[in-house]
Amino acid sequence: MSEPRRVTQVEVATDRGVFMISVAAELSHMHPQTLRTYEARGLVTPKRSPKGTRLYSQRDVEQLRRIQEMTAELGLNLAGVERVLDLEAEVHNMRALLQELQAREREVEERLALAIEEVRSSFRAELVPYRPGAGTALVRAADARSPFGPSPRRPGRAT
């Protein structure tokens, strides 16, 4: 009878490389050579100690588990895994860009609303009540005629 598989879960708050390849391989339930292969393909990039030893972070171990899930459960080959990871990174970048553009849009809308309100306010200041006869109307101050008769003509002005 074989011994039941032990699952060890270790969480590290940072991306700092803390696990040597043997520990990372055990945590991800893979052979160390598989980790070297994944590193060669660029699927995972462990940090290196000053002496060159591979040091895997918790994020690296999670990435290795995802790769294993895609290959074992979804039946993807490593080229498919690379493509999925590339597309996920692209989606992440696009979401960040979309959020940035939405923030800019809100800023532009706010500035536009302020500018529109300034224009409306300036028109209100120019509008005056005018009573040409029985009714009252609002007209631009420049178009209103004086109730005292026509304005005198100034010399040199064309009409």
- pLDDT at position 12: 52
Average pLDDT of the chain is 83
9 or 40: which leads in pLDDT: 40
* Short-list 56, 51, 53, 43, CA closest to 16: 56
The CATH number linked to 47 is: 1.10.1660.10
Q: Does residue 104 sit within a domain?
A: no
Q: Does residue 110 sit within a domain?
A: no
113-158 confidence digits (pLDDT tens): 999 888 888 776 666 666 666 566 665 666 656 555 565 555 555 5
Under 8 Å between Cβ of 104 and 81: no
Q: Does residue 154 sit within a domain?
A: no
Residue 56 belongs to domain spanning: 21-75
Q: How many CA atoms lie within 13 A of 58 on its CB side?
A: 8
Total number of domains constituting the chain: 1
How many C-beta atoms lie closer than 10 Å to residue 126's C-beta? 14
Q: Does residue 138 sit within a domain?
A: no
Task: Give one DSSP letter per residue of 22-53, joined into a string.
Answer: HHHHHHTT--HHHHHHHHHHTS---EE-TT--
Q: Does residue 65 sit within a domain?
A: yes
38-49 confidence digits (pLDDT tens): 999 999 999 999
* Short-list 78, 98, 74, 75, CA closest to 86: 78
- pLDDT at position 92: 96
What pTM did the predictor assign? 0.57
- pLDDT at position 87: 96
Mean pLDDT of 74-91: 95
